[in-house]
Structure 1
């Protein structure tokens, strides 16, 4: 087997990459990662230098993994700023570091694409040793693998990497026939509160329009991009993605793109971008230019839940953070990341920190589950069994 690091997506056959990525979700498709690079959203100049890994058996691509050289920690959603600050205080460089992740996308999924399970058992330790070898040469302080699929945890736990845990909120389709069928699982008071939120949208004269893939014209993308940037500008920041990225995304993988635009008096005032496949919906970006009561909840959550029920999708990942999702039926789920820290002293300190942090994550998830809106008279199994 031959391992090669330091490639851009344009250096790798899209057909060969996608043959490995089948079923891994929209973010692992060659088209998605290539659009980030071709649009200059991901580049050395933005602090995301592509450094992708491939493994060949003779001329056959048998494994691949996204990899980036990072010169900061923006756009990752697993926060290591305190680690970087500790390095700085001890006079050591934390950047550059190596990162296996989907840029700006805190969604769980495969991080090592392989031909089959037998290949994975051989390739994973090989890649871990290879990348650790790069950090041992002193060019990089560390390697971080973010948001792997939970099914990959057992293999990653055996690699000697530091395991870190976090929490997100996902909606699960328990075979609902309609949104009202979903609400029927709520306690009476919480069901009434959510219906009141949705009625407030009608009272404000707002309408919602689903637009798919190639049906999104450039003018609509211009409007949405203004909304997207406004989300960052109100915090004194600038959006990570360029305008060109959205056009490339819709043209190269239209079957995965859903844009929900909101009108008020025949004028667009807000919008949200989703990606989806045959199993899952992923809420990604949202923005608006006017303040309407409960508009964010309706656009980013309830419209997505309705879409999942209509299409028979089983999972709705509406993005990172947001404890307010709990009372809207999004359940707490444990997320994972894995880390190799080259410096032994920092490695031991960070491993201890992550171990202690995991105890707090478990306590938090246990507590969060008590805020779910489902009927208390039902057992957990009853709540989620039709």
Structure 2
């Protein structure tokens, strides 16, 4: 059911004749119109950021983020992966101008749980419900099962983007009230969106992930030369031992991605996911659908032994980033996980001329393999004033902890300590609030 969304009365004045509606499925949205918002042009560097905002440069807008495209999000819906039955009821927010042109889009879901988000708020839910409140449903602005930074309040190029984003934020708050949601959570937005939502009064949260940065390397060996001798030796040993059992690695993309390959990868994904989480999030149909629509953005690193696929790591390619997503194996060999998920991703990024690798959530073991910690962001609208006060106090302490942890981790960088190598790390100041 479509719902017209009034503008939040607390929002700043905005251009006339903008209308908002929430649609339950991307089937109700023209793909080209959605993607026109998702593929908005990139603003130069950090212009127009709020004064004093300290945003990590990797997390400005990128020209092409695969996960917010209609093709990816609709594959999640049509495959039965992100649907009301699994606790992801679509409530995608659409903004139109006076001519009916779609100028803004937000991937949003009414959630009845907090799984598949990677920004953990279960403690907030438990505390609120223990005090007699009702935390679910909540409104989640995110890409399901995808902890990758990208645009969330998306605006068609040529429009007043900050004003439209402010109106979208107000409409999200209004939609929460209209649907009885306790809160709105914008997870893994760009740094610019995070700063603007903070200026609008939303609560701000930080965390960290580990990324590899390409500093013009011509080969994997050139990257290794920037590491300390001990780390360099350790990685070379891991790569040798990871393939010691006669294992062959293939990187597949485009027409290489046959249904036979996806059957093999899905078996690996289900085996590993079932042991880790009990029930993996993605259905087999998802991989066929996304491959049919986005095969050229997929880089699938697969391991084969004795003619049989035994493990795989799924990556998606954006305009400047390789995003590591899912991994699985039906045979277990030392260091094969590191080879497929981290070293193959680095090699692919170098070959493709990409600026970085985002290796997904968590994992401090990535640090020793050249992936350095960078901040991630989320913003939260909490309707209940008492709950909001409690969460605000908690987040202030958490942001300080995340900043301290970032500095501690950077002190353990695997890069050589000469001045040239130090430039390849991240400055401590980027972890300051």
Structure 2 unaligned blocks of 5 or more: 1-17, 40-62, 427-433
2:202 equivalent in structure 1? 161
Alignment match of 2:38 (pick from 2, 21, 35): 21
Q: Would you say the 8 A contact 2:151–2:189 is kept in 1?
A: yes
* Deviation digits for residues 147-193 of structure 1 (CA, Å, limit 9, x no counterpart): 01123333222111000000000111000010010000011111111
2:82 equivalent in structure 1? 42
Using the TM superposition, name which of 145-154 and 24-33 deviates more. 145-154
CA distance in 2 between partners of 1:98 and 1:259 (Å): 32
1:32 equivalent in structure 2? 72
- The answer to whether 1:133 aligns with 2:161 is no
Q: Say if 1:312 and 1:269 are closer, same or farther in 2 by CA, change over 3 A.
A: same
2:326 equivalent in structure 1? 285
- The answer to whether 1:198 aligns with 2:239 is yes
Q: Say if 1:382 and 1:101 are closer, same or farther in 2 by CA, change over 3 A.
A: closer
2:143 equivalent in structure 1? 102
**What does 1:77-116 correspond to in 2, within 5 Å?**
77-116=118-157
**What does 1:313-332 correspond to in 2, within 5 Å?**
313-332=354-373
Q: Would you say the 8 A contact 1:65–1:100 is kept in 2?
A: yes
Using the TM superposition, name which of 370-379 and 250-259 deviates more. 370-379
Report the 3-state secondary structure (helix = DSSP H, G, I; strand = E; otherwise coil) of the residue aligned with 1:95.
coil
RMSD: 1.6
Using the TM superposition, name which of 176-185 and 219-228 deviates more. 219-228
Report the 3-state secondary structure (helix = DSSP H, G, I; strand = E; otherwise coil) of the residue aligned with 1:203.
coil
* Deviation digits for residues 130-155 of structure 1 (CA, Å, limit 9, x no counterpart): 22223345711000000011233332
**What does 1:337-376 correspond to in 2, within 5 Å?**
337-376=378-417
CA distance in 1 between partners of 2:179 and 2:34 (Å): 30
**What does 1:267-306 correspond to in 2, within 5 Å?**
267-306=308-347
- What displacement does 1:378 show? 2.9
Using the TM superposition, name which of 361-370 and 209-218 deviates more. 209-218
Q: Say if 1:35 and 1:323 are closer, same or farther in 2 by CA, change over 3 A.
A: same
- What displacement does 1:29 show? 0.7
- Normalised to the residue count of structure 2, the TM-score between the two structures is 0.86
CA distance in 1 between partners of 2:424 and 2:102 (Å): 45
2:29 equivalent in structure 1? 12
Q: Say if 1:72 and 1:383 are closer, same or farther in 2 by CA, change over 3 A.
A: closer
Using the TM superposition, name which of 123-132 and 106-115 deviates more. 123-132
CA distance in 2 between partners of 1:132 and 1:219 (Å): 45
- What displacement does 1:380 show? 5.8
CA distance in 2 between partners of 1:296 and 1:93 (Å): 41
CA distance in 2 between partners of 1:119 and 1:139 (Å): 30
* Deviation digits for residues 30-66 of structure 1 (CA, Å, limit 9, x no counterpart): 0000111111111100000011011111221111111
Q: Would you say the 8 A contact 2:25–2:90 is kept in 1?
A: yes
- What displacement does 1:217 show? 1.4
Alignment size in residue pairs: 385
- Normalised to the residue count of structure 1, the TM-score between the two structures is 0.96
**What does 1:369-384 correspond to in 2, within 5 Å?**
369-378=410-419, 381-383=422-424
Q: Would you say the 8 A contact 1:96–1:140 is kept in 2?
A: yes
CA distance in 2 between partners of 1:236 and 1:304 (Å): 24
Using the TM superposition, name which of 9-18 and 132-141 deviates more. 132-141
- What displacement does 1:203 show? 2.2
CA distance in 2 between partners of 1:86 and 1:117 (Å): 44
Report the 3-state secondary structure (helix = DSSP H, G, I; strand = E; otherwise coil) of the residue aligned with 1:292.
coil
Using the TM superposition, name which of 262-271 and 147-156 deviates more. 147-156
CA distance in 2 between partners of 1:30 and 1:106 (Å): 18
Structure 1 unaligned blocks of 5 or more: none
1:56 equivalent in structure 2? 96
Alignment match of 1:263 (pick from 304, 311, 317): 304
CA distance in 1 between partners of 2:273 and 2:422 (Å): 41
Q: Would you say the 8 A contact 1:375–1:383 is kept in 2?
A: no
CA distance in 1 between partners of 2:316 and 2:25 (Å): 23
- What displacement does 1:281 show? 0.4
* Deviation digits for residues 92-144 of structure 1 (CA, Å, limit 9, x no counterpart): 11100001000000000110111237522222222222222233457110000
- What displacement does 1:382 show? 4.0
Using the TM superposition, name which of 1-10 and 238-247 deviates more. 1-10
2:214 equivalent in structure 1? 173
Q: Say if 1:312 and 1:232 are closer, same or farther in 2 by CA, change over 3 A.
A: same
CA distance in 1 between partners of 2:397 and 2:113 (Å): 25
CA distance in 2 between partners of 1:354 and 1:138 (Å): 26
CA distance in 1 between partners of 2:221 and 2:420 (Å): 20
Q: Would you say the 8 A contact 2:24–2:89 is kept in 1?
A: no
- What displacement does 1:207 show? 0.7
CA distance in 2 between partners of 1:175 and 1:152 (Å): 29
